[in-house]
Homo-oligomer: A and B are copies of this chain.
């Protein structure tokens, strides 16, 4: 169902409303009236009376008699909330925003009360927002269904726009809303989800993605799960930026204990957001900076940025940021540079960053001419124009030129104005009105542009896999048989029955073998002496006996003989599938003993899309080792990509909650070989739930 009544309701009941000045229970009624909400507002209070001049109904049931209510704000004491939610269901109210606190955030007793609230809501067929939340706002309709003191202030700018914002945190979220209003960034909707007992931030964002009044999505979350929903939101094509707090180890724990949700490793979050084309903001400022660019009229069609500046310093800072953010400093064509040479004086620069100089700036025709040349260059996808001490007199002409050039070329133009507002009080408003996102520093403009380029692009098609059966057995020989069947190369070999059979098997695989103990529950096989390398038919019996002894006490044990893989040139990697709160992820890491030390790892949410396996290899810092580093031979990257895609297809066939570890995977000059395979099942995989 859509949650659009949170910003577009026709009738709102405020249960627990009171007329007392300054009481929380009065604020939503006051705010709805003050901001011109045109729907019906029905205060509910068993004592009757009036609230802000409106007659209070004794109950939600009474409130519904005079017409359908589609949203109820529940502000009664925690202990009474469940009854109100149950009543809401009986009278057809689809969504309750429980603002009251006293639930999971207070400890075990509160959590019990919250569980009960959810149970009642489910039974009643009511969707529950909160509890312990501040409410929601539809800025276009004046639906300020929210008690944030922000809306009680004297000089709240009257502003609405096309950004949809969902936030788990109420105080921080409405703090951010106030900063958006202050900078002139119009929001369409803000929703606070609080304890998220039922409705979470992502579900709100999914409803916002469906809303034709919303052009860009931003969110603040402390925990992140449900990768499938994240993917659906990203696939809406609406640009989407997320501020995910809790990047540190300590914070993951704090967030987990705060919300009860399972924490996700920040590396996984980073990679999956990038994979899905969701821009990740690191701070509230940055989230708003990005939102400003996401709702601007033009988007970059590529990553190549031209910088136009009147200050060498700003140009260098912009170029620095372009490299850091993974964009490209555009190379202007010879023709563009030649034409610029006619306009820009010798002490300027016609290479990118283009320093047009004060002389050009003092002549609006020259300035617009040079902008046209730069923005018109076929190798330029976006322009960042940098100014410093820009004064009032100059601003209007510059803004007009920038706007005209942006309109003519259809390319986004972002502005950097490193100067105080008192120098040009109209600048900020004029730029916004002209559809030119503007920022105080080059780095902030570039970051916002990079986010624009990251998000709202088409998702790759998911790879199709033919039906994959579950592995018959989860020990090494079982997994290897399963891998072989799926087209993943493993060394030739088999289980052997006795010492004689072992010697025969060594001969079968070519006379040089690895003999391994297969013992259920034996982790760290190598450390336990469970792997014998370089075995010949002659040494096979001794090796067999040693390995068999390791499993003598354990049912299901055996001895595996495999061909010794000893290619002259190879790189060892780790490939795995791991369950996370976002869903199963495929991982690729630089391998061997160094895996943890190197920290050279990359993740993708399953199902994998076309081209994503190759991008994983590109992500590795150590990718050059596959590509003929310092005269070493080029290894078979295509085989690695194929292996990643096949392993991705095996993911869904793994037992629930278990992870698959292929380590090492040997990439050679001619293929890719899985030397060891294991499956592990953890109770709370990849997560921490410890209280802090």
Asked if A440 and B285 make an inter-chain contact with CB atoms under 8 angstroms apart, the answer reads yes
Which of A170, A347, A392, A629 has most B Cβ within 10 Å? A347
A157 on interface, CB distance cutoff 8 Å = yes
Asked if A314 and B422 make an inter-chain contact with CB atoms under 8 angstroms apart, the answer reads no
**B residues less than 8 Å from A247 (CB atoms):** 320, 323-324
Asked if A222 and B312 make an inter-chain contact with CB atoms under 8 angstroms apart, the answer reads yes
A538 on interface, CB distance cutoff 8 Å = no
Of A617-625, A647-655, A664-672, the segment with at least 4 beta carbons within 8 Å of chain B is: A617-625
Q: How far in angstroms is the closest Cβ of chain B from A105?
A: 5
**B residues less than 8 Å from A419 (CB atoms):** 150, 175, 178-179
A556 on interface, CB distance cutoff 8 Å = no
Size of the chain A interface, CB-CB below 8 angstroms = 94
Q: How far in angstroms is the closest Cβ of chain B from A194?
A: 10
Q: How far in angstroms is the closest Cβ of chain B from A632?
A: 8
- The verdict on A171 contacting B310 (CB below 8 Å), with A178-B423, A251-B320, A599-B621 known, is yes
A103 to B, closest residue via Cβ: B347
**B residues less than 8 Å from A622 (CB atoms):** 594, 597-598
Number of copies: 2
- The verdict on A423 contacting B391 (CB below 8 Å), with A222-B313, A624-B597 known, is no
Q: Mark A261-284, 1 if CB is under 8 A from B, else 0.
A: 000000000000000000000111
Asked if A255 and B346 make an inter-chain contact with CB atoms under 8 angstroms apart, the answer reads no
Expressed in whole angstroms, the Cα–Cα distance for A422 and B179 within the complex equals 9
Interface of chain A residues 441 through 467 with chain B (CB within 8 A): 441, 443-444
Expressed in whole angstroms, the Cα–Cα distance for A441 and B169 within the complex equals 14
**B residues less than 8 Å from A631 (CB atoms):** 527
Expressed in whole angstroms, the Cα–Cα distance for A212 and B561 within the complex equals 79
Q: List 16 A-B contacts (CB under 8 A).
A: A106-B346, A149-B391, A152-B391, A153-B422, A154-B422, A172-B311, A172-B317, A175-B314, A179-B440, A220-B313, A248-B319, A251-B316, A254-B353, A283-B444, A284-B441, A596-B624
Known pairs A248-B320, A594-B622 / 17 extra A-B pairs, C-beta < 8 Å? A106-B345, A107-B346, A107-B347, A168-B313, A172-B388, A179-B440, A181-B420, A182-B422, A247-B320, A247-B323, A248-B323, A248-B324, A250-B319, A254-B316, A258-B316, A285-B440, A596-B630
